[in-house]
Structure 1
Amino acid sequence: MPCGAKKFEYMHNTYTTQIIYDKKEVWDRSGGAQMKVNRIKTYVKGLDEVIQGGIPDGSVILVAGKPGTMKSSFAFNILYHNANREDKSGVYVTLEQGRESLLTNMDGLGMKLGGLEKEISVLDLGMIRKKLVQLTNQTWMEVFKMYLKNLKKNMDINLVVIDSLPILEVMARFDSPREELFHFFEWLRDMQVTAFLITEMEQGSEKFCHNSEDFLADGIIHLDLRRDETDVKLWLSVVKMRQTNHKRNYLPLIFDKDGFEVVTD
């Protein structure tokens, strides 16, 4: 067996052990009672109730969907309301559109950054490239991690959104994507943040990702568009969520002046 294959097999076995441990960790071995898990609220009406109060703190979550499924808005909503209501700091890393464009779009949805600049930092690709020019001896990924580590140190960030994971993989120029993503996910966990990684699904495909990110992630939230005779509607499923007892059925997801809501009735 090639050396690289042996290394990935070891990673696979190690991570499988971790998954089993995570499942057991939720239960008290002495009596089978469920242990308390700290959770991050999504502030999507109806969603927190079906995932036992929110996302387990410290998780790495994939937010997957095809174009037009409001993935960016959904993730920003979590960041915004946790800053506004829970005093939790966060960073939104936008690699596909500029900072001002993103903020204009979110402002149009009623999520104005004004007054929350100390709690929410928005980092775009141009800012990373500018720093990369200054630090010619460092790789793109090293500069990216440096930014996040500095924000963790200076703002004590609790939440991270990366928009999007496929673009990050392209910019980082991974030689061995699965192995390097494994280490990147572990690095995020070591940062002690809850991370939301947006991933774009291809039209006509049911795959959530391209390089086994769904296996590495602690959770997957799938946003889907469905067409009927007269309308196109948005649906949501919590496909995977470690440390959480949840159903995987699809629920209608709506957005109006009051924000996001899943219809559970």
Structure 2
Amino acid sequence: MSRYDVARVKTGIPGLDDLIEGGFPKGTTVLVTGPTGTGKTTFAVQFVYKGAELYDEPGVIVTLEERAQDLRREMLSFGWDLKKYEDEGKIAIIDGVSSAVGLPSEERFALEEGLNVEGFLRYIYRVVKTIDAKRLVVDSIPSIAIRLREEKNIREVLLKLNTILLEMGITSILTTEAEDPKRGKLSRYGVEEYVARGVILLDFIEKDVELKRYLLIRKMRETKHAMKKYPFEITEDGIVVYPSGEIY
């Protein structure tokens, strides 16, 4: 199959699909990495929300860094009513925070305390099947490792996660931290980028005494793409990428 025959999944992020031949390859796992504050969670949620809103594709969000109710409230600033699509069965949010901090969860979908890797993956699989999800977000990998107490075995955890995602044929975004990407360190553990089939870096660059955001596609299998830095903004409607923009 040539790359022109690859089924594509629209990202819902204006400007991005123009850079990756129309969208992510269907069924692929994409790592979105970058320092704190670059917009990784917004990027990931936009992928799921726009999938439900524009393309009638259900999606699951596994939130491991903030409570589901906080995520819903924050996304309303972009006009994204996650609850609306949850009620319609097009979005499911898995609360992975409450039990980790010893609080009961009021969410329909919530991870239990003490889950091992297999239990974690089985639960995600069940929720994906419940709403027949086509898209999945896990935010974030370091939080998986900490929550499951598996930091020493993170490569094995990620390989298992990636395998089950590929088996489900679901298109996924995993987020991670990159503390110093300019020195070549793209992820917290140094293995995440090798497991994923696509890697997108979000970062800052100083320009005119200001920090500007840029996006770099480091890897995207089955896809022809440029290795350039493209400016992007977080607007009142979400992330917008400027394919013809220049980064100096």
Please say if 1:255 is aligned against 2:234: yes
CA distances 1:224-261 after superposition (whole Å, capped 9, x unpaired): 11122332111001110000011010000012234322
Please say if 1:154 is aligned against 2:130: yes
- Taking structure 2 as the reference length, the TM-score comes to 0.85
CA distances 1:108-163 after superposition (whole Å, capped 9, x unpaired): 12212242111111112246656535xx7xx4323322321221221111111111
Separation in 1, partners of 2:143, 2:61: 14
Please say if 1:70 is aligned against 2:39: yes
Structure 2: runs of 5+ lacking an equivalent = 105-110
Aligned counterpart for 2:90 among listed residues 119, 140, 143? 119
Q: Which residue of 2 aligns with 1:215?
A: 194
1:18-167 map, 5 Å: 26-27=1-2, 34-117=3-86, 118-126=89-97, 132=112, 139-167=115-143
Deviation (angstroms), 1:264: 2.1
Separation in 2, partners of 1:215, 1:170: 20
For 1:148, the aligned partner's letter is I
Secondary structure at the aligned position of 2:85 is classed as: coil
Contact 2:66 2:97 in 1 (8 A): no
Moved >6 Å (runs of 4+): none
Closer/same/farther in 2, CA of residues 126 and 170 from structure 1, 3 Å limit: closer
Secondary structure at the aligned position of 1:236 is classed as: strand
Q: Across the two proteins, how many residue pairs are aligned to each other?
A: 230
Separation in 2, partners of 1:255, 1:132: 34
Contact 2:135 2:170 in 1 (8 A): yes
Please say if 1:177 is aligned against 2:157: no
Structure 1: runs of 5+ lacking an equivalent = 1-25, 28-33
CA distances 1:168-202 after superposition (whole Å, capped 9, x unpaired): 02222335332332222112211221110000111
Aligned counterpart for 2:205 among listed residues 217, 226, 231? 226
Secondary structure at the aligned position of 1:96 is classed as: coil
For 2:120, the aligned partner's letter is F
For 2:16, the aligned partner's letter is L
Contact 1:225 1:235 in 2 (8 A): yes
Secondary structure at the aligned position of 1:116 is classed as: helix
Secondary structure at the aligned position of 1:132 is classed as: coil
Separation in 1, partners of 2:196, 2:38: 20
- Taking structure 1 as the reference length, the TM-score comes to 0.80
- Greater Cα shift, 82-91 or 37-46: 37-46
Separation in 2, partners of 1:264, 1:98: 34
Closer/same/farther in 2, CA of residues 38 and 98 from structure 1, 3 Å limit: same
Q: What CA RMSD, in Å, does the superposition of the two structures yield over aligned residues? A: 2.0
Q: Which of structures 1 and 2 has the bigger CA Rg?
A: 1
Secondary structure at the aligned position of 1:142 is classed as: helix
Contact 1:132 1:143 in 2 (8 A): no
Deviation (angstroms), 1:35: 4.5
For 1:222, the aligned partner's letter is L
- Greater Cα shift, 162-171 or 178-187: 178-187
For 1:206, the aligned partner's letter is G
Q: Which residue of 2 aligns with 1:10?
A: none
